[in-house]
Structure 1
Amino acid sequence: MAETVLFQEKQRFRQLGLWTVVLAFAAIFWVGFVYQVLLSGTYGNNPVSDVELSVVFAVVGVYLPLFFYKMNLTTEVLPGMLQVYFSPFHLNPVRVPLRLVRTYEKVVYSPIGDYGGWGIRWGRKGKAYNMSGNEGVELLFYNKKPLLIGSQRAHELYQAIRQAKEMKSEIGS
Protein backbone atom coordinates (compact mmCIF):
# COMPACT_ATOMS: atom_id res chain seq x y z
CA MET A 1 0.00 0.00 0.00
CA ALA A 2 1.44 3.37 -1.02
CA GLU A 3 1.79 6.03 1.66
CA THR A 4 -0.23 9.22 1.33
CA VAL A 5 2.04 12.17 0.54
CA LEU A 6 0.61 15.24 2.30
CA PHE A 7 3.28 17.64 1.09
CA GLN A 8 6.14 17.47 -1.38
CA GLU A 9 8.56 20.17 -2.43
CA LYS A 10 11.68 20.00 -4.55
CA GLN A 11 14.01 23.00 -4.34
CA ARG A 12 17.17 23.99 -6.19
CA PHE A 13 19.73 26.72 -5.60
CA ARG A 14 18.27 29.93 -7.03
CA GLN A 15 20.62 32.57 -5.63
CA LEU A 16 21.90 34.81 -8.42
CA GLY A 17 25.11 35.55 -6.51
CA LEU A 18 25.94 31.85 -6.15
CA TRP A 19 25.34 31.16 -9.84
CA THR A 20 27.36 34.24 -10.82
CA VAL A 21 30.37 32.98 -8.84
CA VAL A 22 30.06 29.35 -10.05
CA LEU A 23 29.64 30.31 -13.71
CA ALA A 24 32.33 33.01 -13.62
CA PHE A 25 34.77 30.52 -12.10
CA ALA A 26 33.84 27.93 -14.73
CA ALA A 27 34.18 30.53 -17.51
CA ILE A 28 37.84 31.10 -16.62
CA PHE A 29 38.50 27.44 -17.38
CA TRP A 30 36.39 27.53 -20.54
CA VAL A 31 38.49 30.45 -21.84
CA GLY A 32 41.73 28.68 -20.93
CA PHE A 33 40.61 25.43 -22.53
CA VAL A 34 39.44 27.06 -25.77
CA TYR A 35 42.52 29.28 -26.08
CA GLN A 36 45.17 26.70 -25.19
CA VAL A 37 43.73 23.34 -26.27
CA LEU A 38 41.49 24.25 -29.20
CA LEU A 39 43.39 27.28 -30.58
CA SER A 40 46.90 26.00 -29.66
CA GLY A 41 47.87 29.11 -27.69
CA THR A 42 49.45 29.24 -24.25
CA TYR A 43 47.19 30.34 -21.42
CA GLY A 44 48.88 32.14 -18.53
CA ASN A 45 52.51 32.84 -17.57
CA ASN A 46 53.23 29.27 -16.50
CA PRO A 47 50.83 27.12 -18.56
CA VAL A 48 50.03 23.54 -17.65
CA SER A 49 49.96 20.79 -20.26
CA ASP A 50 46.91 20.40 -22.49
CA VAL A 51 46.03 17.14 -20.73
CA GLU A 52 46.17 18.73 -17.27
CA LEU A 53 44.14 21.70 -18.44
CA SER A 54 41.58 19.37 -20.05
CA VAL A 55 41.14 17.46 -16.79
CA VAL A 56 40.78 20.65 -14.71
CA PHE A 57 38.44 22.09 -17.35
CA ALA A 58 36.24 18.97 -17.17
CA VAL A 59 36.06 19.12 -13.37
CA VAL A 60 35.70 22.88 -12.83
CA GLY A 61 34.29 24.06 -16.15
CA VAL A 62 31.74 21.30 -16.68
CA TYR A 63 31.14 19.15 -13.59
CA LEU A 64 31.11 21.94 -10.98
CA PRO A 65 28.22 23.87 -12.61
CA LEU A 66 26.47 20.57 -13.36
CA PHE A 67 26.91 19.51 -9.72
CA PHE A 68 25.26 22.74 -8.49
CA TYR A 69 22.50 22.41 -11.08
CA LYS A 70 21.70 18.81 -10.08
CA MET A 71 21.78 19.54 -6.33
CA ASN A 72 18.29 19.64 -4.83
CA LEU A 73 16.40 19.39 -1.58
CA THR A 74 13.26 17.27 -1.55
CA THR A 75 10.95 17.51 1.45
CA GLU A 76 8.01 15.15 1.94
CA VAL A 77 5.46 14.92 4.70
CA LEU A 78 3.73 11.57 5.18
CA PRO A 79 1.37 10.52 7.97
CA GLY A 80 3.56 10.57 11.09
CA MET A 81 6.79 11.18 9.18
CA LEU A 82 8.83 13.96 7.62
CA GLN A 83 11.47 13.01 5.03
CA VAL A 84 14.27 15.19 3.76
CA TYR A 85 16.52 14.16 0.88
CA PHE A 86 19.44 16.39 -0.09
CA SER A 87 20.74 15.11 -3.41
CA PRO A 88 23.52 14.12 -4.08
CA PHE A 89 24.65 13.97 -0.44
CA HIS A 90 22.04 11.61 0.97
CA LEU A 91 21.85 8.06 -0.31
CA ASN A 92 18.58 7.60 1.59
CA PRO A 93 16.16 10.21 2.90
CA VAL A 94 16.57 11.49 6.44
CA ARG A 95 13.41 10.32 8.19
CA VAL A 96 12.07 12.30 11.14
CA PRO A 97 9.28 10.51 13.05
CA LEU A 98 6.87 13.27 14.01
CA ARG A 99 6.11 11.60 17.36
CA LEU A 100 9.60 12.77 18.43
CA VAL A 101 8.74 16.41 17.64
CA ARG A 102 7.74 18.31 20.78
CA THR A 103 6.59 21.40 18.89
CA TYR A 104 7.13 23.14 15.55
CA GLU A 105 6.68 26.60 14.15
CA LYS A 106 6.85 28.50 10.90
CA VAL A 107 9.88 30.80 11.10
CA VAL A 108 11.68 33.53 9.24
CA TYR A 109 15.42 33.13 9.79
CA SER A 110 18.76 34.47 8.62
CA PRO A 111 20.43 31.71 6.58
CA ILE A 112 23.88 33.26 6.86
CA GLY A 113 23.54 34.68 10.38
CA ASP A 114 21.84 31.67 11.98
CA TYR A 115 23.34 28.77 9.99
CA GLY A 116 26.27 30.11 7.96
CA GLY A 117 24.56 29.80 4.57
CA TRP A 118 22.49 27.34 2.57
CA GLY A 119 22.77 23.57 2.22
CA ILE A 120 23.10 21.08 5.05
CA ARG A 121 24.20 23.42 7.82
CA TRP A 122 24.94 23.32 11.52
CA GLY A 123 24.67 26.59 13.40
CA ARG A 124 24.12 28.02 16.82
CA LYS A 125 20.40 27.30 16.44
CA GLY A 126 20.81 23.64 15.46
CA LYS A 127 20.82 21.88 12.09
CA ALA A 128 19.23 23.17 8.89
CA TYR A 129 18.38 21.84 5.46
CA ASN A 130 17.80 24.80 3.17
CA MET A 131 18.31 25.78 -0.46
CA SER A 132 17.19 29.38 -0.81
CA GLY A 133 15.08 32.00 0.86
CA ASN A 134 14.66 32.68 4.57
CA GLU A 135 11.47 30.87 5.56
CA GLY A 136 10.91 27.40 6.88
CA VAL A 137 9.58 25.25 9.69
CA GLU A 138 11.63 24.70 12.82
CA LEU A 139 11.13 21.39 14.60
CA LEU A 140 11.85 21.27 18.35
CA PHE A 141 12.51 17.84 19.81
CA TYR A 142 12.34 16.34 23.28
CA ASN A 143 15.94 15.19 23.39
CA LYS A 144 18.03 16.85 20.65
CA LYS A 145 18.79 20.18 19.02
CA PRO A 146 16.25 21.88 16.73
CA LEU A 147 16.02 21.09 13.03
CA LEU A 148 15.07 23.72 10.46
CA ILE A 149 13.58 22.72 7.11
CA GLY A 150 13.80 25.63 4.67
CA SER A 151 10.89 25.94 2.27
CA GLN A 152 9.55 28.22 -0.43
CA ARG A 153 6.11 27.09 0.78
CA ALA A 154 6.66 27.23 4.54
CA HIS A 155 2.98 27.76 5.40
CA GLU A 156 1.95 24.65 3.42
CA LEU A 157 4.78 22.64 5.03
CA TYR A 158 3.63 23.77 8.48
CA GLN A 159 0.02 22.78 7.73
CA ALA A 160 1.09 19.38 6.35
CA ILE A 161 3.15 18.65 9.49
CA ARG A 162 0.14 19.51 11.64
CA GLN A 163 -2.06 17.22 9.55
CA ALA A 164 0.53 14.41 9.59
CA LYS A 165 0.83 14.54 13.39
CA GLU A 166 -2.98 14.43 13.77
CA MET A 167 -3.34 11.56 11.29
CA LYS A 168 -0.74 9.50 13.10
CA SER A 169 -2.35 10.13 16.49
CA GLU A 170 -5.76 9.12 15.04
CA ILE A 171 -4.30 5.93 13.56
CA GLY A 172 -2.48 5.09 16.79
CA SER A 173 -5.63 5.60 18.95
Structure 2
Amino acid sequence: MTAEQHILFREKQHFTQVWLWAVILGVALLFWVGFVYQVLLGETFGNRPVPDVMLTIITIVIGIGLPYFFYHISLRTEVWPGELQVRFYPFHRRPVKIPLHLVRDFERKTYNPIQDYGGWGIRWGVKGKAYNMSGTEGVLLYFYNHPALLIGSQEPDALFEAIRAARSMKQV
Protein backbone atom coordinates (compact mmCIF):
# COMPACT_ATOMS: atom_id res chain seq x y z
CA MET A 1 0.00 0.00 0.00
CA THR A 2 1.45 3.38 -0.98
CA ALA A 3 1.21 6.55 1.05
CA GLU A 4 -1.26 8.00 -1.50
CA GLN A 5 -3.73 5.21 -0.69
CA HIS A 6 -3.94 6.35 2.93
CA ILE A 7 -5.12 9.87 2.16
CA LEU A 8 -8.84 10.13 2.88
CA PHE A 9 -9.27 13.70 1.66
CA ARG A 10 -7.17 16.23 -0.22
CA GLU A 11 -8.08 19.74 -1.26
CA LYS A 12 -6.00 22.61 -2.60
CA GLN A 13 -7.57 26.06 -2.63
CA HIS A 14 -6.51 29.42 -4.01
CA PHE A 15 -7.88 32.93 -3.61
CA THR A 16 -10.76 33.19 -6.09
CA GLN A 17 -12.50 36.37 -4.93
CA VAL A 18 -13.02 38.63 -7.94
CA TRP A 19 -12.84 41.80 -5.81
CA LEU A 20 -9.45 40.73 -4.39
CA TRP A 21 -7.99 40.10 -7.84
CA ALA A 22 -9.45 43.40 -9.09
CA VAL A 23 -7.60 45.26 -6.31
CA ILE A 24 -4.32 43.35 -6.82
CA LEU A 25 -4.34 43.72 -10.60
CA GLY A 26 -5.52 47.34 -10.33
CA VAL A 27 -2.56 48.25 -8.12
CA ALA A 28 -0.18 46.35 -10.45
CA LEU A 29 -1.67 48.09 -13.48
CA LEU A 30 -1.19 51.51 -11.88
CA PHE A 31 2.54 50.85 -11.54
CA TRP A 32 2.75 49.51 -15.11
CA VAL A 33 1.03 52.63 -16.44
CA GLY A 34 3.48 54.80 -14.51
CA PHE A 35 6.41 52.75 -15.81
CA VAL A 36 5.29 52.97 -19.45
CA TYR A 37 4.46 56.67 -19.20
CA GLN A 38 7.65 57.73 -17.44
CA VAL A 39 10.36 55.23 -18.41
CA LEU A 40 9.30 54.24 -21.93
CA LEU A 41 7.62 57.46 -23.10
CA GLY A 42 9.91 59.85 -21.19
CA GLU A 43 7.12 61.87 -19.54
CA THR A 44 6.92 62.60 -15.82
CA PHE A 45 4.36 60.56 -13.90
CA GLY A 46 2.82 62.36 -10.94
CA ASN A 47 3.68 65.57 -9.07
CA ARG A 48 6.84 64.16 -7.51
CA PRO A 49 8.13 61.44 -9.84
CA VAL A 50 10.64 58.93 -8.55
CA PRO A 51 13.82 58.22 -10.55
CA ASP A 52 13.38 55.78 -13.46
CA VAL A 53 15.52 53.10 -11.80
CA MET A 54 13.42 53.25 -8.63
CA LEU A 55 10.18 53.13 -10.63
CA THR A 56 11.48 50.12 -12.57
CA ILE A 57 12.31 48.27 -9.34
CA ILE A 58 8.95 49.13 -7.77
CA THR A 59 7.12 48.07 -10.94
CA ILE A 60 8.88 44.71 -10.91
CA VAL A 61 8.15 44.16 -7.22
CA ILE A 62 4.54 45.40 -7.24
CA GLY A 63 3.58 44.97 -10.90
CA ILE A 64 4.89 41.41 -11.21
CA GLY A 65 5.71 40.25 -7.69
CA LEU A 66 2.39 41.05 -5.99
CA PRO A 67 0.15 39.20 -8.49
CA TYR A 68 2.66 36.33 -8.63
CA PHE A 69 2.70 36.05 -4.83
CA PHE A 70 -1.10 36.01 -4.50
CA TYR A 71 -1.45 33.54 -7.38
CA HIS A 72 0.83 31.08 -5.57
CA ILE A 73 -0.76 31.35 -2.11
CA SER A 74 -2.65 28.14 -1.43
CA LEU A 75 -4.37 26.25 1.34
CA ARG A 76 -3.82 22.52 1.22
CA THR A 77 -5.91 20.32 3.48
CA GLU A 78 -5.30 16.60 3.81
CA VAL A 79 -6.96 14.04 6.05
CA TRP A 80 -4.93 10.96 6.92
CA PRO A 81 -5.84 8.16 9.31
CA GLY A 82 -5.75 9.77 12.76
CA GLU A 83 -4.49 13.13 11.51
CA LEU A 84 -5.51 16.33 9.76
CA GLN A 85 -2.84 18.31 7.93
CA VAL A 86 -3.18 21.95 6.90
CA ARG A 87 -0.57 23.90 4.95
CA PHE A 88 -1.01 27.56 4.10
CA TYR A 89 1.71 28.01 1.49
CA PRO A 90 4.08 29.95 1.52
CA PHE A 91 3.58 30.82 5.19
CA HIS A 92 3.95 27.24 6.41
CA ARG A 93 7.12 25.50 5.33
CA ARG A 94 5.62 22.20 6.47
CA PRO A 95 2.03 21.14 7.08
CA VAL A 96 0.50 21.84 10.48
CA LYS A 97 -0.35 18.37 11.79
CA ILE A 98 -3.40 18.04 13.99
CA PRO A 99 -3.76 14.65 15.73
CA LEU A 100 -7.46 13.85 15.63
CA HIS A 101 -7.42 12.23 19.08
CA LEU A 102 -7.05 15.80 20.44
CA VAL A 103 -10.31 16.84 18.78
CA ARG A 104 -13.19 16.72 21.27
CA ASP A 105 -15.90 17.36 18.65
CA PHE A 106 -16.34 18.80 15.18
CA GLU A 107 -19.13 20.12 13.00
CA ARG A 108 -19.81 21.28 9.48
CA LYS A 109 -20.10 25.06 9.70
CA THR A 110 -21.41 27.92 7.61
CA TYR A 111 -19.74 31.13 8.80
CA ASN A 112 -19.20 34.75 7.90
CA PRO A 113 -15.46 35.19 7.20
CA ILE A 114 -15.46 38.95 7.80
CA GLN A 115 -17.60 39.03 10.96
CA ASP A 116 -16.39 35.81 12.56
CA TYR A 117 -12.67 35.88 11.72
CA GLY A 118 -11.88 39.23 10.08
CA GLY A 119 -11.44 37.90 6.55
CA TRP A 120 -9.63 35.13 4.72
CA GLY A 121 -6.19 33.61 5.26
CA ILE A 122 -4.74 32.53 8.58
CA ARG A 123 -7.06 34.39 10.91
CA TRP A 124 -7.59 34.72 14.65
CA GLY A 125 -10.92 35.93 15.97
CA VAL A 126 -13.09 35.77 19.03
CA LYS A 127 -14.38 32.41 17.78
CA GLY A 128 -10.88 30.91 17.51
CA LYS A 129 -8.44 30.41 14.66
CA ALA A 130 -9.31 29.86 11.01
CA TYR A 131 -7.56 28.69 7.87
CA ASN A 132 -9.68 29.74 4.90
CA MET A 133 -9.25 30.92 1.32
CA SER A 134 -12.71 31.68 -0.02
CA GLY A 135 -16.31 30.84 0.57
CA THR A 136 -18.30 30.57 3.77
CA GLU A 137 -18.23 26.87 4.62
CA GLY A 138 -15.89 24.55 6.43
CA VAL A 139 -15.42 22.26 9.40
CA LEU A 140 -15.07 23.63 12.93
CA LEU A 141 -12.90 21.57 15.28
CA TYR A 142 -13.30 21.78 19.06
CA PHE A 143 -10.35 20.72 21.20
CA TYR A 144 -9.99 19.68 24.81
CA ASN A 145 -7.29 22.24 25.70
CA HIS A 146 -7.16 24.70 22.78
CA PRO A 147 -9.46 27.25 21.16
CA ALA A 148 -11.63 26.10 18.26
CA LEU A 149 -10.13 25.84 14.76
CA LEU A 150 -12.05 26.37 11.54
CA ILE A 151 -10.83 24.77 8.32
CA GLY A 152 -12.50 26.47 5.34
CA SER A 153 -13.36 24.17 2.45
CA GLN A 154 -15.05 24.16 -0.93
CA GLU A 155 -16.03 20.56 -0.11
CA PRO A 156 -17.15 20.78 3.53
CA ASP A 157 -19.26 17.58 3.46
CA ALA A 158 -16.38 15.49 2.10
CA LEU A 159 -13.96 17.03 4.63
CA PHE A 160 -16.39 16.35 7.48
CA GLU A 161 -16.86 12.71 6.44
CA ALA A 162 -13.11 12.19 6.00
CA ILE A 163 -12.45 13.54 9.51
CA ARG A 164 -15.17 11.28 10.88
CA ALA A 165 -13.57 8.24 9.21
CA ALA A 166 -10.00 9.25 10.11
CA ARG A 167 -10.80 9.60 13.83
CA SER A 168 -11.57 5.90 14.07
CA MET A 169 -8.42 4.84 12.21
CA LYS A 170 -4.91 4.42 13.57
CA GLN A 171 -2.30 6.94 12.49
CA VAL A 172 -0.01 5.65 9.70
Shorter chain as denominator, the TM-score bin is over 0.9
SS in 1 for 2:168: helix
- Give unmatched runs, 5+ long, in structure 2: none
Identical-pair percentage:
61
Correspondence for 1:2: 3
- State the Cα distance separating 1:2 from its structure 2 match: 2.2
- State the Cα distance separating 1:10 from its structure 2 match: 0.2
- Give unmatched runs, 5+ long, in structure 1: none
**Residues of 2 paired with 1:94 and 1:37: CA distance?**
45
**Residues of 1 paired with 2:48 and 2:114: CA distance?**
38
Correspondence for 2:156: 154
Q: List 4+ stretches of structure 1 deviating above 4 A.
A: none
Q: What is the TM-score when the length of structure 1 is the normalising length?
A: 0.95
- State the Cα distance separating 1:8 from its structure 2 match: 0.2
**Residues of 2 paired with 1:82 and 1:37: CA distance?**
51
Correspondence for 1:96: 98
Q: What is the TM-score when the length of structure 2 is the normalising length?
A: 0.96
Write the deviation string for residues 39-80 of structure 1: whole angstroms up to 9, x where unpaired. 221111110000110111111111001110010000000000
**Residues of 1 paired with 2:69 and 2:42: CA distance?**
29
**Residues of 1 paired with 2:3 and 2:156: CA distance?**
25
How do 1:55-66 and structure 2 match up within 5 A? 55-66=57-68
Correspondence for 2:39: 37
User: Quick one: which amino acid aligns to residue 10 of structure 2?
Assistant: Q
Write the deviation string for residues 58-112 of structure 1: whole angstroms up to 9, x where unpaired. 1111100111001000000000000000011001110000000000000000000
Correspondence for 1:137: 139
SS in 2 for 1:140: strand
**Residues of 2 paired with 1:105 and 1:143: CA distance?**
18
Correspondence for 2:13: 11
How do 1:90-129 and structure 2 match up within 5 A? 90-129=92-131
**Residues of 1 paired with 2:111 and 2:169: CA distance?**
29
User: Quick one: which amino acid aligns to residue 54 of structure 1?
Assistant: T
User: Quick one: which amino acid aligns to residue 100 of structure 1?
Assistant: L
